[in-house]
Amino acid sequence: MANRTPQYRRHHRIYARVKINGQWVHLGKYDDPAAKSRYKQLIAEWAADVPASVPAHEEVSVAEVLEAYRSYAQDYYGDAPSGRYKLMLPTIRVVRELYADLSISDFGPKKLKAVRQKFVDAGYTRGHVNQCVQRVIAIIRWACEEEMVDGAVVHALQAVRPLQRGHTEAPEGKIVTSVPQSVVDATLPFLVPVLSDMVQLQLACGCRPGELCSMTPGQIDRSGDVWLYRPREHKTAHHGHERVVAIGPKGQAILRKYLLRPGDAPCFSPKEALTQYLDQQHERRTTPLSCGHKPVAAKRRRRLAKLHDHYDVAAYRRAIERACDRAFPPPEGLTGKARRQWQHDHRWTPHRLRHTAGTLVREQFGLDGAQAILGHRNVRVTEVYSELNVSRAVEIARKLG
């Protein structure tokens, strides 16, 4: 098996590659005669035990760089759904589609602008387009570290300026704002107790949705009058920053009933939420048990077995959106696009709760207090999350005359 001839393989449906001595070599388009000719040459050298020569910078294709980085990123960042590796894949796919066979030394600023236009044509917002362009530059910079590309290529790509507001066809992204407390209060009755407690706890301590979903009893220091939650994984962990979430008496009262479980078990479980939902549905049943469908324990166990032990941010968000649909039903007769727009306008997300918490803290304790609660290193970021209280400005203006 050790001497088995490396196979000519299809990659991403339209490309060809072969694995020689543990390394993938990109050959070009799968049906291209030049790719098959290159494959035969490599197999002949492999069979003759000719040492593989290191290709010069100009001989390395864009597809080879992308595949090398993809393999590196998968090992380094992991396959987490919200991780950097998953975020890089759409960008890699677009660059490969346009310039797979191009020599990496020929991938200059104009080629990067063509990639950028592809993102614009796809409907990406201006900020998202700029992020994708920076990801492309980051990939080429990594290739420079690995001596796959000359540093002049990276330097040239950095000359491409980000898209500026008002000077591009790319739309502006929607600004995330806080959600009014009255809207949250109107939604809570339509959430099961587990999700209702999650919302109120996030509002009380201002943590990120991901930090809330990954909370376990073992990560909470309860030695003082204010509990300190130190999540193992958080947004700025890769920078070496420590994240500490302070939980006061109000949050402690919500959280205390979720601490009677193993230290590494999630505090908030979708299985527990589903159990509460099914129990509520059973209590609301109007058909006698002697008629219609009867509760089946096996069916409940099968539904619970399909769920994860802990919430992820997407599941948490979807649960809140479903509750919003029940709390704010669209008017009768509203259908199609108008109905979807109504639902969009009357939904709020967990991330907006963090903005609400920051705004409330800023009103009482100033910008420094909001920065401490939200855990930002830069106060300019806190200004985005904590909105100025317009009503307070109106009151001051009224007094000033």
| CA separation for the pair 22, 33 (Å, rounded) | 24
| CA separation for the pair 127, 130 (Å, rounded) | 5
Give residue 71's pLDDT. Answer: 84
| CA separation for the pair 299, 271 (Å, rounded) | 14
| CA separation for the pair 255, 259 (Å, rounded) | 7
**Structure tokens, 393:** 């400005």
- For residue 6, give every residue at least 6 positions away whose Cβ sits within 8 Å of its Cβ, in sequence order, or none: 18, 19, 20, 42, 43, 46
Single-letter code of the amino acid located at 169 = E
Residue 103: strand pairing partners? 61
Distance from first CA to last CA of the chain, Å, rounded? 89
Quote the strand ranges of 186-312, DSSP E. Answer: 220-221, 227-229, 245-247
Residue 240: exposed, middle, or buried by beta-carbon count in 10 A (0-12, 13-18, 19+)?
exposed
How many domains does the chain contain in total? 2
Q: 100 and 129, same structural domain?
A: yes
Do you know the residue count of the chain? 401
Residue burial 308-319, b: 16+ Cβ < 10 Å; e: rest: eebbbbeebbeb
Number of Cβ atoms within 10 Å of the Cβ of 273: 22
Q: 140 and 66, same structural domain?
A: yes
Quote the strand ranges of 80-146, DSSP E. Answer: none
- 317 occurs within a structural domain: no
Single-letter code of the amino acid located at 339 = R
- For residue 212, give every residue at least 6 positions away whose Cβ sits within 8 Å of its Cβ, in sequence order, or none: 198, 201, 202, 268, 316, 350
Chain-centroid distance, C-alpha 360: 26
Whether the CB-CB separation of 143 and 68 falls below 8 Å is answered with yes
Of 157, 181, 210, the residue at which a domain comes to its end is 157
| CA separation for the pair 378, 200 (Å, rounded) | 26
Residue 15: strand pairing partners? 11, 29
Instruction: Report the DSSP pairing between strands 23-29 and 15-20.
Output: antiparallel
Whether the CB-CB separation of 204 and 248 falls below 8 Å is answered with yes
| CA separation for the pair 2, 298 (Å, rounded) | 50
Q: 129 and 101, same structural domain?
A: yes
Q: 110 and 49, same structural domain?
A: no
Give residue 135's pLDDT. Answer: 93
Of 111, 135, 157, the residue at which a domain comes to its end is 157
DSSP 313-344: HHHHHHHHHHHHHHHSPPPTT--HHHHHHHHH
| Domain region containing 14 | 9-53
| CA separation for the pair 125, 132 (Å, rounded) | 11
Q: What strands lie across the sheet with 15-20, from one edge to the other? A: 9-11, 15-20, 23-29
CATH number, residue 126: 1.10.150
Three-class SS state of 246: strand
| CA separation for the pair 106, 104 (Å, rounded) | 5
Of 157, 176, 195, the residue at which a domain comes to its end is 157
- 344 occurs within a structural domain: no
- 234 occurs within a structural domain: no
Q: What is the pTM of this model?
A: 0.68
Q: 39 and 88, same structural domain?
A: no
Q: 107 and 27, same structural domain?
A: no
Q: 152 and 84, same structural domain?
A: yes
pLDDT tens track, the chain, 401 positions = 456 888 888 876 777 888 887 777 778 778 888 888 888 888 887 777 755 444 444 467 888 889 888 888 888 887 766 677 888 889 999 998 888 888 888 899 999 999 999 999 988 999 999 999 999 999 999 988 888 888 889 999 999 999 998 888 888 877 778 888 899 999 999 999 999 999 999 988 888 898 899 999 999 999 888 888 888 876 766 666 678 888 888 989 999 999 989 989 999 999 999 888 888 888 887 887 777 677 778 888 888 888 888 888 889 999 999 999 999 998 888 888 888 888 888 899 998 888 888 888 877 877 777 777 777 666 666 666 665 555 555 565 556 54
Chain-centroid distance, C-alpha 104: 29
- 26 occurs within a structural domain: yes
**Structure tokens, 325:** 């649909």
Give residue 191's pLDDT. Answer: 93
- 27 occurs within a structural domain: yes
- 326 occurs within a structural domain: no
- 39 occurs within a structural domain: yes
Q: 69 and 153, same structural domain?
A: yes
Give residue 386's pLDDT. Answer: 60
- 265 occurs within a structural domain: no
Q: 98 and 74, same structural domain?
A: yes
